[in-house]
Amino acid sequence: MSTVTSSNGFAAGLAEREVRYQICADCGHVQTLARLACRSCGASRLEWRRAAGTGAVFAVTVVSRAPSDEFRALAPYTLVLVDLDEGCRIMGHAEPGVQIGQRVVADFFDHGGRTLLRFRSP
């Protein structure tokens, strides 16, 4: 497990096709997305780590009506919540047909000038 020094966080990780998460330097709690403080103990000493990108599907939903113009061209699309092996939960796109409990690995795609997460079968 390597430490990432960039403070740009989650979005910067995606741009480099990496999944990054935060670990609290005080209590060791892990969390996804870019937060200012530990959700467990409130400490602000958070470090970025690079996740392996592997995990298990916790929830699946198929979006048939996109919430914004940006995603309209993609609909219908599959969104998942994945429990990463590092111990935190993250949302991303997924290939159609993924099932709850299934092992997946992070992949990436470019859309609207951004790199987004899309999980697929390992």
Which residues here bind Zn ion, judged by CB under 5 A?
A: 24, 26-27, 29, 38, 40-41, 43
Q: Of the two residues 24 and 98, which places its CB atom closer to Zn ion in the complex?
A: 24
- Non-local CB neighbours of 60 within 8 Å, separated by 6+ positions: 78, 79, 80, 94, 98, 99, 100
Alpha helix stretches (DSSP H) within the chain: 10-15, 69-72
Question: In the complex, what is the shortest distance from the CB of residue 20 to Zn ion, in angstroms, rounded to a whole number?
Answer: 17
**Residue 67, preceding bond cis, omega within 30 degrees?**
no
Q: Of the two residues 24 and 84, which places its CB atom closer to Zn ion in the complex?
A: 24
Q: Of the two residues 38 and 60, which places its CB atom closer to Zn ion in the complex?
A: 38
Q: How far is Cα 94 from Cα 97, in angstroms, rounded to an integer?
A: 8
Question: In the complex, what is the shortest distance from the CB of residue 40 to Zn ion, in angstroms, rounded to a whole number?
Answer: 5
Question: In the complex, what is the shortest distance from the CB of residue 42 to Zn ion, in angstroms, rounded to a whole number?
Answer: 7
